[in-house]
Amino acid sequence: MSGTARAGAPRDAATHDARAATTMTPQPFIYLASQSPRRAQLLDQIGVRHRLLPAEPDEDAEALEAVRPGESPGAYVQRVTALKLDAAVQRHRRQGLDAAPILCADTTVALGRTILGKPADEADARRMLGRLSGTTHRVLTAVALQHGTQRHAALQVSRVRFAMLADAEVDAYAASGEPMGKAGAYAIQGRAGAFVEHIAGSHSGIMGLPLHETARLLRQAGFTT
């Protein structure tokens, strides 16, 4: 019996080593440079493993979102996304983190050439929602991915038509708190979904991360889930 045990030992050791090697093999992931739970959920939806790389307390993320005079919505959202990705790359370097692609996105709402950003307060949210009532507006989401020295970027534009909103609907929604922190003062995945008559484009893009474009950028960077 002792001879049988000795014969089996090398096989057991080899099996253990193989399992250990499999366990220790780093699995592919990306960094998500965003604090948006919606973007994290959307990455989960398509099976992309990710780690958060949010802005540090001393970073002024709001300053990056300032609109330049005469800037078009498309130019604006792509410029802001690029600046946020620049900041994320520097943050990644400062923190000495493991190498992996870094993903960043930004979303804005535009009525014509007018950019509707995040409302300053409830009154501002009511003002924005009043302007969107009964109109078709654009939701633009820019995505950028840094992989080593390479950068890949895309812009997704959707058109959303709101029904005519009664003053009571606008007041109730603004008072709910949901518009705060949202471009255009609404979240399509929330209560404002009831306002939408028609969408032409990407529902995930309106939420904040267009999945088709994001998956394409990841493939361009050689990332596989």
- % of the chain beyond a pLDDT of 90: 80
Q: What is the pLDDT of residue 4?
A: 45
Q: Six-digit token pair at 189?
A: 């995945």
Q: What is the pLDDT of residue 2?
A: 45
Rounded CA gap, 174 and 120, in Å?
12
Q: What is the pLDDT of residue 62?
A: 76
Rounded CA gap, 116 and 36, in Å?
18
Q: From 3.40.50.261, 3.40.50.970, 3.90.950.10, 3.30.420.40, which CATH number describes the 27-220 domain? A: 3.90.950.10
* pLDDT over threshold 60, residue 10: no
Residue of 106, 121, 124, 171 marked catalytic = 106
pLDDT one-digit tens code per residue, 198-219: 999 999 999 999 999 999 999 9
Active site residue 106: yes
Q: How confident is the model at residue 12 (pLDDT cuts 50, 70, 90)?
A: low
* pLDDT over threshold 90, residue 9: no
Q: How confident is the model at residue 11 (pLDDT cuts 50, 70, 90)?
A: low
Rounded CA gap, 105 and 144, in Å?
6
Whole-prediction pTM value?
0.85
Q: Which residues of 94-128 are buried (b: 16+ CB within 10 A; e: fewer)?
A: eeeeeebbbbbbbbbbbbeeebbbbbeebebbbbb
pLDDT one-digit tens code per residue, 117-160: 999 999 999 999 999 999 999 999 999 999 999 999 999 999 99
Q: What is the pLDDT of residue 223?
A: 86
